[in-house]
A and B are shown apart, each in its own frame.
Chain A
Amino acid sequence: MSSIIERSVTMEQFIEQFLSAVDFQDPVELKPDTRLADLPEWDSLAALATIVLFDTEYGKVIVGPDIEKCVKVSDLYALLG
């Protein structure tokens, strides 16, 4: 069931939901090749928000080390499988 949900999420939808989840203090523009390390608040809180987003919105369990391996926004999107 989860794979159906995952495939239906486009990159644009993912970026929109990711921005809402991570709740950056100042507006941030994200593209698939945006480097996560360049974001002003790519921190522990952002990691928590990303884990919750994947779990509750996409039914996908990811853990901290999965996120640490991601370099760009597109790497996070790829975690959807």
Chain B
Amino acid sequence: MSQATLHNVRFAGMATCVPKRVFHNIYDAPPKIRSERERLARNIGIYTRRLCPEWQTFSDLAFEATEKLLAELKWNKADIDALIIVGQSPDYLIPATAIILQDRLQLPQTTIAYDVNLGCSGYPFGLHLMGSMIAAGAIKKGLLLVGDRAGEEKDPLFSDAGTATALEFDAGAPPMHFDLNSDGSGYQAIMLPVGGHREPVDVHHLIQHRDEGGYYRGGTDLVLDGPAVLSFSTQRVPPAVERMLEHVGLGKDDIDYFVFHQANRMINETIRKKLRLPEEKVPSTLHDFGNTSGASLPVTMTVRLRDTLSNGKHRVLLCGFGIGLSWGTAIVDIDSAVFPALIEV
């Protein structure tokens, strides 16, 4: 599929929850790597991140976001037809976390619940999936929970967040537009190579070494090819956005805000400059919240656009990109949606 348009789907609201625990990329790093971290933070644009304590999981954050959102929407839990998680931080490898949350949230057993394995690109894909069910008339109300617990002290990029988006059937809703893409030839650019069936965890993977900063690293760590991810993002995203606008017949002036996945400052600024977008139309949360994987679009919408999007009509372009490789864009008209303030637990 390249482009698609969904009708009768209303964006009803969104809530975002982050851990209270703040980790500073420079001051909380070991003293001997602080100089290196200063340069890094300056260039990736990430100074503080939110990290879950040991006991906290993505689903704990998403649970809080969902409860708050449902309360402010005044939706009856018995009316929820579907609960879909888009993320890569399950409570257990199996079963799916969404099913566990069906019970924890006290949603009816008639709820469709499952997980979708997508990371940084996930938000537009999740919107399209839930939106398709609603547009097809299969369900009336759905909850989309997006995010990850990808943050680690030793890795200066990733930060934790759980989010909830409420979508509902509304015959008067403006159309939602999508451009969704996948390129599996780049699967090695970001991956957890060990722990699946291709390479199960073995004893030798568990042997760790201490790096220059004193952080332990080993065979079960995430592998990220920075230059490959940067090239992918800066080469694929701008033309995808242009294509989306062209398909819908809109100009850049017709979009109130362009919300991009918060990857890092170098990637995001390159994308913004290539698309010739003014800074004021491209909100960022990198400085305070880092790269929150698939949650970065909701985090940025909640933290930077909450007041605006909860009053009147606004058109936003949402673009996620990353692990897979996978990239997707959505154009969504948001009219007086419910946006609870950022939740911290």
Contact = CB atoms under 8 A, between A and B. Distances in A.
A63 B226 CA distance: 11
A56 B270 contact: yes
Contacts of B38: 25
Contacts of B117: none
Interface stretch (B3-11, B229-237, B318-326): B229-237
A45 interface: yes
Contact of B273 (A45, A47, A56, A67): A56
Interface in B33-54: 35-36, 38-40, 42-44
Contacts of B234: 51-52, 55
Given A52-B234, A61-B235, A23 B226 contact: no
Contacts of B201: none
Nearest to B273: A56
B225 interface: yes
Dominant SS among interface residues on chain B: helix
Given A25-B39, A41-B39, A56-B273, A49 B227 contact: no
B274 interface: yes
A48 interface: yes
Interface in A8-55: 23-25, 41, 44-45, 47-49, 51-52, 55
Contacts of A47: 226-227
A74 to B, nearest CB: 21
A36 B231 CA distance: 21
B43 A51 contact: no
B345 interface: no
B233 to A, nearest CB: 11
Contacts of A67: 227
Contacts of A44: 226-227
A51 B39 contact: no
Nearest to B227: A64
B38 to A, nearest CB: 7
Given A25-B39, A41-B39, A61-B235, A51 B227 contact: yes
A68 B228 CA distance: 12
Contacts of B39: 23-25, 41, 45
Nearest to B274: A56
A45 to B, nearest CB: 6
B273 A48 contact: no
A49 B266 CA distance: 7
Given A23-B42, A56-B270, A64-B231, A48 B36 contact: no
A35 B235 CA distance: 29
A51 B230 CA distance: 8
A52 B266 contact: yes
Contact of B270 (A24, A41, A45, A55): A55
Contacts of A45: 39-40, 43-44, 226
A23 B43 CA distance: 8
A67 B44 CA distance: 20
Interface of A: 23-25, 41, 44-45, 47-49, 51-52, 55-56, 61, 63-64, 67
Given A55-B274, A61-B235, A63-B228, 10 more contacts: A41-B36, A44-B226, A45-B39, A45-B43, A45-B226, A48-B227, A48-B230, A49-B43, A51-B234, A64-B227
12 contacts: A23-B42, A25-B36, A25-B38, A45-B44, A47-B227, A48-B227, A49-B266, A51-B231, A61-B231, A61-B235, A64-B231, A67-B227
